Structure 1
Amino acid sequence: MKQQTFAFTRSENLKQKPEASTLEFGKVFTDHMFTMDYSAETGWHDPQIVPYAPLELDPAAMCFHYGQTVFEGLKAYVTEKGKVLLFRPDKNFERLNRSNDRLCIPRLDEDLALEALRQLISVEKEWIPTAEGTSLYIRPFIISTEPFLGVAASVSYKFIIILSPVGAYYKEGINPVSIAVENDYVRAVKGGTGDAKTGGNYAASLKAQEVAAASGFSQVLWLDGLEKKYVEEVGSMNVFFKIDGEIVTPQLNGSILQGVTRDSVLHLLNHWGYPVTERRIAIAEVVQAQKEGRLEEVFGTGTAAIISPVGKLSYGGETYEINNGVTGEVAKRIYDTITGIQKGELEDTFGWTVEVK
């Protein structure tokens, strides 16, 4: 695609950048954002970088009423030599278009979206924190904007990219978290929207998370929505189990999100020669392996935390300690490798990083 230069309106009121030590996740936003509109007559049009500001939407805009929205999440990093790197952004925009298809939202030109992200980050480079565990979180999203109280696909949309300097997603960092198996609520079912990154999936997960948090757990382990027998995800992350030296992750089945970090982990494990399998795995199998001393590691994978080891698992009234409550060797190796590639500290032999000039 021929490089396109987008219209740019510089903010007249630049914000004070926060100290890295004060950063939480997703609470501070940069000075500018990217926006682009869609209409049935014109298609996607008017791409521009503008000052970060509230949106003006009609109260009848369909995003408020029928949940026709999709989003993505990825990060930018600064290397020791000052290079700005993105990690597999093409995969995020590919997935955004898969979500668009499921939600009846017009597809984006992925090359254009990536170029828009490059130019926005180039404008906001100084916002990228450099302290250990920090990064610039990137949130592309699309909302339906047609003012219409009828259940149908909207005829107008807005695509936006906003940026947020962040600290660690979980305060535990790479240290193990405690999780509870969810038996009452379900995250998604095959044929639903579980494999799309849409807001309704996350809204539906909040009650279970609230209940788990009240009992002292960091996250919930989701079971399938039909039999409540097979493991699907942990919180908003994909999940991996190391049993008898084999690493198992639930196979994609239409209700599990196709994680970019999940895909990266599978690539690394295969590259390193670990036996790794994508298949259905029952919670009963996991618990039995733990009782027999064969469950060696459990960890979640996702953009926000990269790797989140599991130290405690609650199921059926019992709480089990995984790997003596410490981070496992495989989880630590994956975390160190992915973060090393992301920050330019390790050679990127997979061609995963994209430099922003």
Structure 2
Amino acid sequence: MAQPDSTPSTIDDFFLHCTELVFIASEGGALLRMSRALTRAVSPELLHTASQAGLAPLVHPDDRRAFDEAWTRLRAAAEPVLIDVRLKTADGSFKFFQCAARWVPEKREVYGTLRDAEERIKQEIQIKLLKAINDHLPICLWAIDERGVFVLHDGKGLAAAGLDPGQFVGLNIFEIYPESGTAELRKALEGKMSYFMNELKGVHWEAWYLPIQNERGDVTHVAGITLDITATRRTEHELRAKLELIERQQQVIRSLSTPIIQVWDRVLTLPLVGMFDSVRAADVMEGVLREVVRTRARYAILDLTGIEAMDTETANHLLKLTGAIKLLGAEGIITGIHPAIAQTIVGLGVDLTSIETRSTLRQGLEHCIRRMAGASRRLGQG
């Protein structure tokens, strides 16, 4: 077998044409030889310094200590020493390289290479980030191949389902869950991302199915991310129950704040007190009309003595209420109108001749009694 040529010209050609960033350094670190690729990659103005002082001047200040310690370990290391270090590049920026160096005692020199580590370090950061999410959040990360066989099954969220990491690896998801979420899963196998929520064994899940395609566009795997939202659902149910309770309490309060009283046979009265807005007006209309029908009332007195002000919209609601009472065969009477409310009602431009009004509740009740007494006499005479 022919021995490789180690003549000076061959070595020179190697350093000239080698595409890797290689170097030979002295025991103290001074660069004795380096490939042209290395001279093009790092900062040119520091190369002269590096030939005397070594790679240290090229190293980022924050990495200098770790680099010096690694260089010191070289003489005692049987294997190459590896270190990730940021070096100043030709454009003046710092870039991550992996420096692999070995001490050659018979030459009393260090042979080494520099390799771009930017992409690898980014990937390592991404892996660490993914691991942190996987280990600390209530999620499950899994993946299946095109047949539905699990190739990955991991995540803190598995514990909520009573499962262990890797438990389903090698098993087919369509056999394990023949009905749950299979439609969405088949969409993902066809290349469409899908999302859905489901419940299994008392645990609520929010799930995303992500198709993974090769360079030809064929789906080779589906990645799944499922988030345990049981606590969120429980909170939602509790909140909904509280809101329903509050609504029931508000209905009770509204009914107490607008009491409908039967003061005489077939005569209802509604004394209004306090704030009276359009929301309360709508509740009043519903309650009064319901009671008119239930009691077969002939008169409904709306007493505004306790209301000092009313906006235009609410006044309009009130007038509509008297009209609705009339449609049910009864008569709506308004009593106790304050001057400010009278001005608001007049400002609506509505014909008030058909609306019966009285100054006080007493006068309104007397009006109803007289009307009913008169009706009784007419019936008796007939």
- TM-score, normalization by structure 1: 0.18
TM, length-normalised to structure 2: 0.17
Q: Indicate the structure (1 or 2) with the bigger Cα radius of gyration.
A: 2
Normalized per residue, the structure richer in helix is 2
